[in-house]
Amino acid sequence: MGASRAIVFVLIFFAAAVTLAGNSTFATLKGSPDLRSASAIVLRENGDIIYGKDVNTVRPIASITKLMTAMVILDAKLDLNENITITREDRDLIRQTGSRLGYGAILSRRELLLLALMSSENRAASALGRTFPGGLQAFIAQMNHKAASLGMNDSGFADPAGLNANNVSTASDLAKMLAAADGYPLITQSTTTKRKEVRPFAKRGTLTYGNTNRLLKNESWNIELSKTGYINEAGRCLVMQVHIAGENVSIILLNSFGKLTPYGDSNRLRKWLLAST
């Protein structure tokens, strides 16, 4: 080997070693986490895929939709302290689900945003879309515009709450949406709030809401952002930004069968990742 070729070889080897060192946290992953979710993707903060399963299949995403709802509201820089009244227009005509926010309930836009993200309150999300400048259809158009701007080319949005099965995306696209949502402090704060009391009726007591993600009660998890979702067509869904072994990791789980499956899959993923450190 000539001197010049030897130098090139050494430089290439050194560069490869640096890259490996930079990716060494999860460099020794073995086997598979054996997830039950139909689609899943796990990424590092730099976008490197750690694990993927059926990542490009378009699926309904249920209330994961509310992350897009929140981003559109915050992008519009609307007055978060403005009071909004729940009306009959906010009722669920698709699933016929109920709500403790009865007609006439009054909360600030900030409180509605919190309840939509934390406890997946459907009327809260619907009211946010209804009171958007230009009305509900303008809001939905802006949701789809935002998705296109993020490169979510296989996604579509049809309502602010995620009740419509035409709110669809892929695990790959949702990774982009999750990364974008992580840039909004109010979204990270709201989705990780465990409990919130509100007073939507002047002559009644407070209403207490809890977070839909039970992993927030588990001290072994360090969660920065999360959102759950469920309708029959979507199955159980869960997206999270978490810290594992000093790394920021995105987890997207779609169409899990069974109420506890997303949490079981999340714990299997965490155990699998930690085994490599």
Catalytic residue among 39, 63, 190, 250: 63
Q: Is 146 a catalytic residue?
A: no
Residue 99 annotated to the active site: no
SS (H, E, C) the chain: CCHHHHHHHHHHHHHHHHHHHHCCCCCCCCCCCCCCCCEEEEEECCCCEEEEECCCCCEECHHHHHHHHHHHHHHCCCCCCCEEECCHHHCCCCCCCCCCCCCCCEEEHHHHHHHHHHCCCHHHHHHHHHCCCCCHHHHHHHHHHHHHHCCCCCCECCCCCCCCCCCEECHHHHHHHHHHHCCCHHHHHHHCCCEEEECCCCCCCCEEEECCCHHHHCCCCCEEEEEEEEECCCEEEEEEEEEECCEEEEEEEEEECCCCHHHHHHHHHHHHHHCCC
Which residue in 37, 39, 119, 120 is the catalytic one?
120
**One of 39, 66, 146, 172 is an active-site residue; which one?**
66
Active-site amino acid positions: 63, 66, 120
